[in-house]
Structure 1
């Protein structure tokens, strides 16, 4: 299995980017929590934020539009990319064009 692009990247998300991504997620999904309540290392799926696969697809769309990067449904690292706010933020920091 190839090394994850998340682990290979030297860029990581700073607190400002994590807050911005949390606000984007909360807004896009109309969540009943504030962006400040989204903990960076909690899982986005299941017991953490409680998102499902449809929610993740919606996040992928808004993140792609906002940061100019391409997130594909068949990407082998999707589980790692969307594991937590921090993993998503790190991926954005490493890949974004905007």
Structure 2
């Protein structure tokens, strides 16, 4: 699990959606990092935050409830959508209904 300096997020991600989404990720998945420790461009899976497919399902449900964006498990774009906090926030910003 990546635990970078907590000063990284405010300087690198002024976008409030990224900040809100980082909070949602930490809360939904009960992660032992603070939202500020999730770097916008760091991978969410593998060597980054270390999320797995079950985490993705839980996160997709939480995103659907919070933002009205449907993320399907069979979507071929999921590897790009879930690549990083920034890519996920970009997808949500483009498709949100709520």
- Global fold match (TM > 0.5): yes
List gaps (5 residues or longer) in structure 2. Answer: 1-12
Distance, in Å, in 2 between the alignment partners of 1:61 and 1:29 is 11
TM-score by length of 1: 0.84
1:38 matched to which residue of 2? Answer: 38
Correspondence for 1:73: 73
Q: For structure 1, list consecutive stretches of 5 or more residues without a partner in the other structure.
A: 1-12
The TM-score, its normalising length taken from structure 2, stands at 0.84
- Distance in structure 1 (CA, Å) of the matches to 2:14 and 2:70: 21
SS in 2 for 1:42: coil
Greater relative contact order (Cα 8 A, min sep 6): structure 1 or 2? 1
Q: Return the offset for 1:17.
A: 0.4
Q: What root-mean-square deviation, in Å, do the aligned CA atoms of Structure 1 and Structure 2 show?
A: 1.3
- Give the number of equivalent residue pairs: 86
The structural deviation recorded for 1:14 is 6.1
